[in-house]
Amino acid sequence: MDTQTSTHARITPSQLPLLLEDLYEENNKLEAIGARKIVPNIQGQPGIGKTQIVQDFASLKNLGLVMVTPDMLAEVGDLNGLPDIERIQNGETITTLRPPDWVFAILRKSEDKKGCILLLDDHNRVDPQVVNAEMSVFQNHKIAGVELPKGVFIILTSNPEGGQFMVTEMDPAQQDRIQTFELVFDPQSWTTWAETSGIHPLILNFALKYPEALCGKKTTPRSMEAFSHVLNFHPEYSKALTEMKEGVFDTRIEMISLRARALLDEETVGSFLGFMVQDNKLIIPPQDILNSWQKVRVQIQTLLESTPLRTDVLGIITQRLALHLTNSDYEPMPHHKQNLEHFLTENLMPQDLTLSLVQQLIHAKDDTQKLILSDKIYDQLQVLYQNPEGGAQ
């Protein structure tokens, strides 16, 4: 990921919906008093989720959404209107400017819904003259002479300057008409989203081990999601990866590698396959912890006896369990409480991991919180807090 110093306010994917909510409410109040509304510009690397978050926000608020991409704004006329010759009486003609078709979509969707988002996606990847023309839209709220209805919320997304794409640099006067926020990748936000969005468990394990791998020249959160779809569509690939052995040729692994290289950096593919051979085999699925404690206890003991101690693997196991339990789709079963109690109170896991898991469960839904409401867990937590040197034996 480009590490060039940025002067913009930084925001994570988990914070962006809250920001959009604030700006939406603020714009409604500004519109009510006839003041100029705020136009946010969400800047970030490709594939980080800018567009998807805006789409999800529109759906959540039951707003219409019209997305305009750079190919729809090839020239100024695509924004200000193209000549349209109309015939009138006596064979005479007049030439008017016809607004772009997506303007009529804004009018229609604003009427059908309680408002509409106009998303100018990758807006700085258009011609500089188009960027100049956009400024008039932001200031006057008109496109090709058509006044935008009340309730239209203009949002921009953009790519950073100095990155891998040709972009139009905005001058200070243009920047003054918008508010730019830099969307940065946040591994914790992504793994939380991944748990609830059907991302393949092998991808999730890898992301917890190597979060930096999701931000390469070619590898992005979006391309990693696409690779997850490949594994989800082909169960035989998952089986091959879990059975993978170093130095053993397998045509399925060759095909997986081929599919992965189409989406990810070569370095990421190598790290992923190496992770499958070595570390992934040590990671205990959260379902096993909740359903088969006696078997899991032996596996954890084996990990604790390894040299050096695999605290990284223990951390992934704990975080996967936390993500599983805090997933809104998780349904607690009676025996889960007892098995989780074993996991938390048998002094197997390092103290910091035990406390981290409990702290995350405190913010889970009520049914999940009840899993840790036991005297045995409470007593164990008191011991841990009083013994800061405690941990795995």
H helix or E strand, kind and range, residue 142: strand 142-143
Residue 95 pLDDT class (50, 70, 90 cuts): confident
H helix or E strand, kind and range, residue 96: strand 93-98
Examine the pLDDT at 193 and tell me if it is beyond 60.
yes
Looking at residue 385, its pLDDT comes to 64
- Taking the CA atoms of 246, 251, 252 and 258 in sequence, report the sign of the dihedral they define: positive
Examine the pLDDT at 3 and tell me if it is beyond 50.
no
Examine the pLDDT at 127 and tell me if it is beyond 60.
yes
Q: Model-level pTM greater than 0.85?
A: no
Residue 308 preceded by cis peptide, ω within 30: yes
For the chain, what percent of residues have pLDDT higher than 70?
Answer: 93
User: Which residues are CB-neighbours of 92 under 8 A, at least 6 positions away?
Assistant: none
Distance, in Å, from the CA atom of 169 to the CA atom of 177, rounded to the nearest integer, reads 14
Looking at residue 91, its pLDDT comes to 67
Task: Give start and end residues of each alpha helix (H) in the chain.
Answer: 16-32, 50-60, 77-80, 101-112, 128-140, 172-175, 187-196, 201-209, 221-233, 235-242, 251-261, 266-277, 286-291, 293-304, 311-326, 334-345, 351-361, 366-369, 375-386
Distance, in Å, from the CA atom of 106 to the CA atom of 79, rounded to the nearest integer, reads 14
What's the mean pLDDT in 96-117?
A: 89
Examine the pLDDT at 380 and tell me if it is beyond 90.
no
Distance, in Å, from the CA atom of 138 to the CA atom of 155, rounded to the nearest integer, reads 10
Assigned superfamily of 9-184: P-loop containing nucleotide triphosphate hydrolases (3.40.50.300)
Task: Give the mean pLDDT of the chain.
Answer: 89
For the record, the structure tokens of 228 come out as: 């997850």
Q: What is the pLDDT of residues 136-190, one digit of tens each?
A: 899 888 998 899 999 999 999 998 877 666 888 887 888 888 999 999 999 999 9
Angle between helices 251-261 and 221-233 (to 10 degrees): 150
How is the chain split into domains, by residue range?
A: 9-184, 198-206+219-281, 283-393
Examine the pLDDT at 88 and tell me if it is beyond 80.
no
Looking at residue 6, its pLDDT comes to 62
Backbone phi, psi, residue 151, to 5°: 90, 5
Please state, in angstroms and as integers, the Cα–Cα distance from residue 380 to each residue in 112, 337, 341, 348, following that order: 56, 15, 10, 12
9-11/179-183 β-pairing: parallel
Examine the pLDDT at 2 and tell me if it is beyond 60.
no
Examine the pLDDT at 305 and tell me if it is beyond 80.
yes
Residue 222 burial (10 A CB sphere; 0-12, 13-18, 19+): middle
Q: What is the pLDDT of residues 219-273, one digit of tens each?
A: 999 999 999 999 999 999 999 999 988 777 789 999 999 999 999 999 999 999 9
Distance, in Å, from the CA atom of 10 to the CA atom of 184, rounded to the nearest integer, reads 7
For the chain, what percent of residues have pLDDT higher than 90?
Answer: 62
Residue 67 pLDDT class (50, 70, 90 cuts): very high
Examine the pLDDT at 1 and tell me if it is beyond 60.
no
Q: What is the pLDDT of residues 23-50, one digit of tens each?
A: 999 999 999 999 999 999 999 988 999 9
Examine the pLDDT at 283 and tell me if it is beyond 70.
yes
User: Which residues are CB-neighbours of 33 under 8 A, at least 6 positions away?
Assistant: none
